Amino acid sequence: MKKQNDNSNIATVYIGIGANLQNPIKQLKQALDTLNTHPELKIIKTSSFYRSVPMGPQDQPDFINAVCQLETQLSPLALLDCLQTIEKQQGRVRKAERWGPRVLDLDILMYNQEEIHQERLIIPHYGLRERNFVILPLDEIAPNLQLPDGTLITSLAENIEKQGIERL
């Protein structure tokens, strides 16, 4: 059963996808395949892949990143659990180290126009505005997207630093 016909509870969600270990392009493709075949998720659009320099320690490989738009009836926390399960299935081991190398990272960037501030989940994603590897792919697939505060993604894309990122 892929989808119910009741569209009243369908959320539009944007997911950031990133990897820099174990063949990152393959990791992203596998994650997208898993998202696309999940019975409670439906991918609407996927950006190009982008190569970007690491945010944190520079002694690690470049990241490959993308963003996808999907629809789901899952609640934000249920979606987070789903994404973390996919990360784990692909070999991600969560460590205390922030911004370190990883097999796969799946982040909820936006969930409808909701603002969520919970211990496990902050939406819009706390780093969304500063990360060119999120803003540029988002602008590619949803240039008219607005953050809950009214800021347009296109406006962020026009003003974000473009050094250190390459569309593949």
Please indicate whether residue 105 is annotated as part of the active site: yes
Bridge partners of residue 67, in order along the sequence: 16
Q: Which of 107, 120, 139, 167 is catalytic?
A: 107
Q: Which of 33, 81, 92, 167 is catalytic?
A: 92
Outline where the chain has alpha helix (H): 24-37, 76-89, 132-141, 153-159
Which residue shows structure tokens 């070999």? 91
Q: How far apart are the first and last CA of the chain?
A: 35
Please indicate whether residue 62 is annotated as part of the active site: no
CA-to-CA distance for 103 and 89, rounded, in angstroms? 10
Q: Which of 51, 102, 131, 139 is catalytic?
A: 102
H or E stretch at 166: strand 165-167
Please indicate whether residue 107 is annotated as part of the active site: yes
Q: Which of 105, 129, 131, 149 is catalytic?
A: 105
Please indicate whether residue 92 is annotated as part of the active site: yes
What tokens appear for 124 in the block? 């819009």
Which residues are part of the catalytic machinery? Answer: 92, 102, 105, 107
